Amino acid sequence: MPLLKLTFLGTGGAVPRGDRMLPAIYLEDWLGNRVLLDAGEGCQYRLLQFGVSPASIKLVAITHSHEDHLLGLPGLVITNKFLGGKIEILAPKSMHEVLAKLGVPVADSASAGRMEIKCVEVCHTVDSCGWLFQWDLGYKLIDKARDLPKWALTELIKGRPVEVGGRVITPEEVSEGGRRVRRLLYTGDTAPCPQMWRDVERVDVLIHEATFADDVDVEKVHEEGHSTVADALEAARALRAEVLILTHVSARYVDKSKHRRLAAVEPPPHVYVPEDFETILVKL
Ligand SMILES: [Zn+2]
Ligand SMILES: [Zn+2]
């Protein structure tokens, strides 16, 4: 079953709190891909506390060069290499030259089987990538296909026509709903970003920053390249997300009750405001 496991290793932003570390999210999909989204200070220790070896991380996707998202990267990469892992860094192009000094491959897109990741430009104060994940689930076959040989079913699900008994069968003939593609976007730090919404069009899961609740000068927040809970909700509606997860909560909030109250106003989407170390399972 297409299932995503998202563990929030750090849900703070800029300044840590005892119960809220700097940004890092561990993503594991049902295909076995293990990706770290941002590498806040101490992220390798958090992975270890959670029972995940830093050597098992194949990709670490950094959104931008601000230190709260980056300071855990050198330690993670060094441990990964020391333990014989094969890690690759994804980052905005402007960071590639510096990050290459860590001695591992650096790129701004990746693919692994049915999963693809690419950079989408977001609206922050420095060159920043939101990371857009896409999983190709193939075609959903209808009952009519049941009598075909197993090898033919495998090909048809992947979207390839087959020849059985001298007849060519296309995936469209024996499936419903077209090719199924599921998408997740992690914004990193961003102000409301209509240009990005237009480029991306639609996602199933949106992990959006909500540095602030509603008790701030909104114009100033946007100038500083950040969002409020209302901004994140607007982004989720623009992107038609079914699931919205809010993170990067400022240390000025002693707890997340304000965020939760504001986020609970308008379902859908289903909104979650996870604490550090919380895991959310999402069925795609
Ligand atoms: Zn930040
Ligand atoms: Zn930032």
Average pLDDT value for the chain: 95
pLDDT of residue 24: 98
Closest-lying ligand to the alpha carbon of 128?
2
Q: Which two tokens stand for residue 77?
A: 């990469």
User: 3-283 architecture in CATH?
Assistant: 4-Layer Sandwich (3.60)
Query: Between residues 72 and 269, which one has the greater pLDDT?
Result: 72
Averaged pLDDT, 231-253: 97
Q: Per-residue pLDDT for 265 more than 80?
A: no
What is the 173 CA–ligand 2 centroid distance (Å)? 48
pLDDT of residue 211: 98
What is the 3 CA–ligand 2 centroid distance (Å)? 29
Which residue of the set 29, 38, 68, 231 is catalytic? Answer: 68
pLDDT of residue 147: 87
**pLDDT band for position 177 (cuts 50, 70, 90):** confident
What is the 72 CA–ligand 2 centroid distance (Å)? 15
**pLDDT band for position 267 (cuts 50, 70, 90):** low
